[in-house]
Structure 1
Amino acid sequence: MSRRIMHIDLDAFFAAVEQRDHPEWRGRPLVVGAAPGQRGVVATCSYEARRYGVHSAMPISEAARRLPADTVFVRPRMTHYAAVSQRIMAALNTISPVVEPVSIDEAYLDVSGLERLVGPPEMIGQRAKQVIADAVGLTASVGIGPNRLIAKLASEYRKPDGLMVVPPARVQTFLDPMPLTALRGIGGKAASVLHDLGLRTVKDVRLADATQLIQHLGARAARRFQDQACGTASDALHTDTVRKSISKETTFAEDITDPVILRDTLLWAAQEIGHTARQAGLKGSTVTLKLRFRGFKTHTRQRTLPVPTADDDVLYRHAWALYQAGDWAARPVRLIGLGLAGWDATVPAQTDLFAEAEPAPATGREPLYATLDRISDRFGRGAVHWGVRRKP
């Protein structure tokens, strides 16, 4: 029996959360990002703003020029969005035991065999949309197909608030008319090469001469693109049943250069990792920063700490230091993530790893974190969290 993979994609997630929390903002253009008059870009925006041609990664100055006077501009609240995301993922676990979150607003589910319990795929998709609406009051677009690629493309097909099921027998009919850029991993350079060869659609890539593709793209890329064009992709989901590390990452809708958004995202990731580590009684000594740039070029940087930690602030400050040391300030970031590993569950209280840079005496923050964690466990993640000190 063919596998059935479902992809869930929250609609304009950050903006939708803000409109849910502030009913007076519903129906109005809303931008999450920098404020007008400040340097920065759009992190995401509501569908009302998109009608004016505004999109993620657009400079705020350009967005403000296009949008009407009643537009709402808000700063990202990454920790709050993460708390909402956790409730969504918990709700999805009531549908399938195999849930792979891939970012703060996306997840894959293996729904193979659920027809006997729930009904046909369309009914499974409707149930997923309903549990999300019941849990957090938001809409999501859902795609179901025989593998990850088809499920992802299906969820994008009818956004927002869409549902698309692609049975195995209709995969090629679904794929063939799409522009070749729908295939994963085709960046601007590869697309230009394929266009120069006269290829425009997925069908063109599927039927193209393999030797010619290899000559212009290399064997590996040529094979990967033609496999995708034939609907061949992985149906494996990864749920991290054996925890070798704790990591959090998010993929931006468009490339981001705004350092404030990057810092806020790393702070969110550090707080999520720190909380998870403390709940498991773990402290780690290896901090890993992950960045993905245009063209899917991925870089990682690691730092080994002299004393293992589960301190949110220490994790964040090391992550930001790794970013700054990489001289990436001008490069648009597609994905940013943070990881912690190198466990030591029996170390003494955390000392101040930044004593040389900031000579204030180490005090140990375990009691503070215990209080913060109790508040989070009672009132939900995001009820209280660290902030980033801004320069005046």
Structure 2
Amino acid sequence: MPRLILHVDLDAFFAAIEQRDHPEWQGRPVVVGAQPGQRGVVATCSYEARRFGVHSAMSITQAARRLPPETIYVRPRMAHYARVSEQIMAVLAAFSPEIERVSIDEAYLDITGLTALVGPPEVIGARIKTGIRQAVGLTASIGIGPNRLIAKLASDCHKPDGLTVVLEEQVADFLAPMPFSVLRGLGVKTAPRLARLGVKTLGDVRELSLETLRRQCGARAGTQFYYQARGIADDRLYPDRERLSISKETTFPKDVTDPRVLEETLHWAAREVAWTARQTGHLGRVVTLKIRFFPFETHTRSRSRKVPTADERDLYRIAWSLLASEANWIGRPVRLIGLGLSGWSQPTTGQQLDLFETAETGRNPADKGLTETLDAIRHRFGAEAIQRGLHLHHQDN
């Protein structure tokens, strides 16, 4: 049975969620990212904004020059987007257990065996699109092909809300007219070399010998281009690899010297990292502080604990102590700050607490129940509904 790989890509994911949550923004340009007049970039934007030539990673200053006055600018709500993503992944899991989650808004599925149960690829793709729309009210573009490369290229063909199926015998005709710029691994040096050979499409690339491509683009890239132009690529999935760390950071609109702002930001980062760790069943031993000074001087500092944790108070306390221990950092303008958790130890029932850690934190058995209650409230009412108070090292008198 020929392999069938499905690639699902949510359309303008962050912006689409904002338009869904604010119906009055439907049909208007929406930019998720930095605010005009601030330093930063576009995280994503609606299709209405893309018509003005705006795209992800464009500087917000450049985007604002192109967009009309009625444009809506919103800051990212990553925790909210992550919850929507989990709902979408649950829809996909109902169709196939073979899922590779590529990012918050895209994934690959192996649907090879579904044709006998559900129907042809077009039917499977349509049902998945309907399932996503019913679950979260969003559209997705889907591509189906014999491997990852063809599935990904197919999902890009008819965005937004597209569905494109490319069977094995259709691959050559599907690829031939595509611009050679779609080649994976094409760089600023290799692209001009292909152009000088008169190459414009993948069909043109297919006319070149392997030796010519290797000579012009290098052995590795030339070999990759040779096979990609023929639609030969990996058809395996790599489901849910273990994440090595959980981290949160933010880039300030203006460089920050006020220690209270830094503390409040570390509070937020500790809260979000701890929440994610608890929801994914992780306990970590290594807490890492990341800080960037003007212009791009970046440092990290880490500390290991004897007892693994997923408690925001532990993360904040360690991160702040790492920051405070660097005397030459005090008063310097900070561009970015964040923290991470790693060094996993899987939680076990009745895990014994370290004697000195217990004495240091003053925790008691009821504390675990309080954390579970707070998590349940957050699950139901959102991240801002309730938060645990954390001690501020700098208090106004």
TM-score by length of 1: 0.76
- In structure 1, which of residues 372, 375, 378 is the aligned counterpart of residue 377 of structure 2? 375
Distance 1:206 1:30, change over 3 A: same
Mapped to 2, the partners of 1:107 and 1:83 lie a distance apart of 16
Q: How far apart are 1:249 and its partner, in Å?
A: 9.4
Higher gyration radius (CA):
2
Aligned residue for 1:227? 227
User: Retained in 2: the 8 A contact 1:288–1:303?
Assistant: yes
Structure 2 residue 264 is matched with structure 1 residue 259: no
Structure 1 segments, 4+ long, off by >4 Å, are: 243-250, 263-269, 286-289, 301-304, 312-318, 349-352, 361-368, 376-387
Instruction: Please state whether the residue corresponding to 2:7 is helix, strand or coil.
Output: strand
Aligned to 1:39: 39
Aligned residue in 2 for 1:342: 344
Partner of 2:75: 75
Give the share of equivalent positions with the same residue, in percent: 52
Cα separation, partners in 2 of 1:349 and 1:184, compared to 1, 3 Å? farther
Shift of 1:258: 8.2
1:72 to partner: Cα distance: 0.7
* Letter in structure 2 aligned against 1:342: W
State the alpha-carbon separation in 2 of the partners of residues 78 and 385 from structure 1: 17
Deviation sequence 1:87-124 (CA, Å, 0-9, x none): 00001111112122110000111111212221111111
Say whether the 8 Å CA contact 2:213–2:225 is kept in structure 1. no
> Which residue is 1:19 aligned to?
19
What letter matches 1:305 in structure 2?
A: S
In structure 1, give the amino acid aligned to 2:374. Answer: L
Secondary structure at the aligned position of 1:62 is classed as helix
Give the deviation of 1:259 after TM superposition: 2.5
Distance 1:183 1:249, change over 3 A: farther
In 1, are the aligned partners of 2:285 and 2:341 still within 8 Å (CA)?
Answer: no
Note the C-alpha offset of 1:56.
Answer: 1.3
How much does 1:6 deviate?
Answer: 0.5
Q: 1:275 aligns with which of 263, 266, 278?
A: 278
Name the residue aligned to 2:165. 165
Q: Against the structure 1 CA distance between its residues 70 and 161, is the aligned structure 2 distance closer, same or farther, given a 3 Å change threshold?
A: same
Aligned to 1:295: none
1:261-296 Cα offsets, whole Å, 9 max, x none, are: 9x999889735641234xx3x42235799xxxxxxx
Q: C-alpha distance in 1, partners of 2:107/2:305?
A: 35
CA deviation after TM superposition for structure 1 residue 74, in Å: 0.5
Question: How do residues 1-392 of structure 1 correspond to structure 2 at under 5 angstroms?
Answer: 1-240=1-240, 245=243, 259=251, 270=273, 273-277=276-280, 280=281, 282-286=282-286, 305-307=304-306, 308-311=308-311, 340-343=342-345, 345=347, 346=351, 348=353, 362=361, 366=368, 369-378=371-380
Kindly provide the amino acid, as one letter, of the partner of residue 285 in structure 2: S
Return 5+ residue gaps in structure 1 as ranges: 251-256, 290-300, 331-336, 353-360
Question: RMSD of the TM alignment (CA)?
Answer: 4.0
**2:3 alignment partner AA:** R
Going from structure 1 to structure 2, the CA distance change for 1:381 and 1:343 (only over 3 Å counts) comes to same
Q: CA deviation at 1:194?
A: 2.3
Higher relative contact order (CA 8 A, sep 6+): 1
Which secondary structure does the structure 2 equivalent of 1:208 belong to? coil
Q: What is the TM-score with the length of structure 2 in the denominator?
A: 0.75
Aligned equivalents of 2:233, 2:356: Cα separation in 1: 47
How far the C-alpha of 1:209 sits from its partner, in A, is 2.4
C-alpha deviation, 1:204, in angstroms: 2.3
Contact 1:32–1:45 (CA<8 Å) still a contact in 2? yes
Aligned partners of 1:205 and 1:226 also within 8 Å: yes
Count of residue correspondences: 348
